[in-house]
Amino acid sequence: MEKLIDSLMEIGFSKNESKAYLALLKQSPLTGYEISKQSGVPRSMIYQSINKLVSHGAINEVRSDPLTYTPVSPNEFIGRLRHEKTETFDYLQENLEQIQHPPEVHVIRHIQERSAVIDRMNDLISKANQEVWLSVWDSELDEIEPYAKKATEANVQLYSLLFNCQPTNHFGRAFYHNPSTANIEEQRMNQRLTIVVCDDKEVMIAGFSKDMVPTAVHTQDPMLVLLAKEYIRHDIMMKVMSEHSSEEKMNQIWKGDSDLFYIVTNELLNKNNNKGEA
């Protein structure tokens, strides 16, 4: 009985209304006094509960002397409630969706395992319509190259920064890190940082290493897309500038400056050793 009362309360009845309705289901017709006696609802509150039940369409008022009440059958009453609730829910769903302003939430998806990471990189290259920005290492190049080739053949513009790779015609406008600079990059980050930016809309940033399972993040967050693209852009510009200066001069710029040395290599400059070498 308590479960029935709780369930009736869940659809909008008060506890007293639930008790009165159940009393009428057991026996009817009943007067207000009899409903109070059978249900345990105080006489001072029974007529308030009866009036609510009548307004709910749960009981009928019988014009007799004295006035009595009968319950509407559960099938009829519950069926009507279910229909009304369904109509209300349908109306709310349709109309609330029309006024909803979708929040700008950009999910960051985490990907693990080499095959899954490579597949997502190739998906982004394949879906591009205008341009792709890449920062890729030779260890992953063969798995990506067929998709890059198809993209260039479809007139998608590729801007690629390739690490320790032989020149190739399949990566659009490509720039190359030689083994010495590639080694510095890999040692500094302790991984091969790999990036794919698709149409300024999506980015995947992955890390490959001998010592860990390849992992990546994939998102459409515009700030992360911009950040990744600017990272590749600046790396390309530094590569171009370094090619127009001798290696000796470039080394003089940063190898003798402790801050620049740390920025480039992620290692602290051993000043004592430098002084000894000098």
| 28-32, 102-106, 235-239: which is most confident | 28-32
Q: Which domains does the chain have, with CATH numbers?
A: 2-74 (1.10.10.10), 108-244 (3.30.870.10)
Model confidence, pTM: 0.57
The reported pLDDT for the residue numbered 194 is 94
3-state DSSP assignment of residue 240: helix
Q: Give the HSE-up count for residue 174: Cα atoms under 13 Å, Cβ half-sphere.
A: 21
Lowest mean pLDDT among 66-80, 102-116, 143-157: 102-116
Instruction: Let me know the angle formed at the C-alpha of 61 by 57 and 64, rounded to the nearest 5 degrees.
Output: 170
CB of 178 within 8 A of CB of 166? no
Virtual CA dihedral for 193, 196, 197, 201, nearest 10 degrees? -110
| pLDDT at position 277 | 42
**What are 45's two structure tokens?**
């509150």
